[in-house]
Amino acid sequence: MDSFLSRIRAPGACLFGTWVKLNSLETLEMLSWAGYDFVVIDAEHSPHTFESTYRSIVAAQGFGMSALVRLPDLHNQDAQRVLDAGADGVLVPRVRDLTDARHAIDMLTFSPVGSRGMGITSRAGRWGAKPIPDYLAHGDQQVARVLQFEDQQALDAVEDILDLPGVNSAFLGYGDLSLSSGKPASHPDNASRVQKWLLACQARRIPCGTAVGDAAAAARSREQGFSFVMISNDAAMFGRAASDALKSLKE
């Protein structure tokens, strides 16, 4: 299977996935059976430990899905370990300005350009069996380095951030944009920022993603030009299905 980054770079591509908040092989397998293209293991807003993140990466990829990881925070010390675990991409939350973006790209890029160290004896290097040139090329060219734009300051600086060497994908967080601006995502000011952000990504051919609550919103995102979209999350899907089943009985 082509890398996640290669697939979202394809003209007209739009892949669909979901957030993974549960430490569950069973739900991962069911997501693969349902046909999801990828999952994002959410270490920021869930109880995932590094060990559960690692096992979820391995399982998701074994089930035929791409596996990305959202780090707990911008300065998380597990970035190197997540890359060594073989994640197809890393989402870096709360990138607010050029300084944050430089830090994010630095920790996700091999030395001497960045500060990522060689872990050829890790899973990403097939425990030492992968030729070093292939390991380095994959890490630099095929791993999605996804900067999360989540507040108005970042969206206003989108062009400077996207022009930073090494940025190869971007993510728009509607929820935190609303928090930072004090206005709903649909407000004309935010709608204008989002449109500017989309156009900046498209002009640079940088794949862009977002997260939405349901299939209808995902379809609208595809029409807007997003390259990858997360629909809800595994815990919410289970909770909603359980609630709907009992609600129908009570009614």
CA distances to 3, 73, 79, 115 from 55, in Å: 19, 20, 16, 25
What residues of the chain score a pLDDT lower than 70?
none
CA angle 125, 129, 134 (to 5 degrees): 55
Sorted by where each begins, the domain ranges of the chain are 4-250
Q: What is the pLDDT of residue 50?
A: 97
At the top level of CATH, the class of 4-250 is: alpha beta
Its pTM stands at 0.95
82-128, pLDDT tens digit by residue? 999 999 999 999 999 999 999 999 999 999 999 999 999 999 999 99
Q: What is the pLDDT of residue 151?
A: 87
Q: Are 128 and 122 in contact (CB under 8 A)?
A: no
Give the HSE-up count for residue 58: Cα atoms under 13 Å, Cβ half-sphere.
Answer: 13
Q: What is the pLDDT of residue 81?
A: 96
What is the residue-wise DSSP string for 11-74? TT--EEEEEE-S--HHHHHHHHHHT-SEEEEESSSS---HHHHHHHHHHHHHTT-EEEEE-SST
